[in-house]
Structure 1
Amino acid sequence: DAVPAAQLVDVQPDDYRTEFLSLDLAVKTVPDQDAAVAHIHAHSSKHTDLILTADADAAERFMAAVDSAGCYWNASTRMADGMRYGFGTEVGISTNKIHARGPVGLEGLMIYKPFPALPRGPS
């Protein structure tokens, strides 16, 4: 009973898709790992998801099954930050499966256009 009952409220369906920008959490208890992964696939932003477990096999199955830019095992999702990954200050976060996924710095947003040169001269 670390949290007084007066501070607990029932979760609404939209809460699972809400970034609260506070210390609030939307928690769902599920019967097994498959149900957890199904819930994440239904509600996740595909940004960052985590598993808290002492079971290494369960953690590996979870991280392989969840389609998010960042999957963590027993670590804070606050680690999903370009500076912490060593990319420098992030400009954005990509949840798509493109060349840059997760925190994206300026380098990850750059495109390159090669200009192969042929020798000039009479043809």
Structure 2
Amino acid sequence: MTHQNLMNNYFNPNPIYNEKDFRPRFGMRHHVVERLLHDVQHVNPDFQYKLDRAAHPGFSPHQKVTIALRMLAYASLADAINDIYGMFESTSLDNLVGLCDTVVQLYKEEYLRGFSGMKGLLDCMHCQWKNCPTGW
């Protein structure tokens, strides 16, 4: 149900929220998140849809990326994510680290323009980027 609500709100062809609503909630534009979703799923198997250890449907790629982006965009605590999205703190943190590592792997050679407003963990302190904006 959480996945379907997320899709209906932001990702289906006629979402409830438009681009103007999307950017403040995700910290970047819709097309950047769509590219990120596509790229991350192809590089990191943890972001592909699969069953959990109990053979129940796990979190969708959209949920995993959204949760990590919300943690970054709002500097949200992992335990708050459990209350909102039903993802345990340890899973949220693993998910966040996985997304950050994958983003660095994927985009380290180009300027991460869509991430410039993030308040969270992804900044120029974690790796060397050729086009890192040193004025931040």
Q: TM-score scaled by structure 2?
A: 0.27
Bigger CA radius of gyration: 1
Higher-RCO chain (CA-CA 8 Å, sequence separation at least 6): 2
Q: TM-score scaled by structure 1?
A: 0.29
Of Structure 1 and Structure 2, the greater strand share is in 1
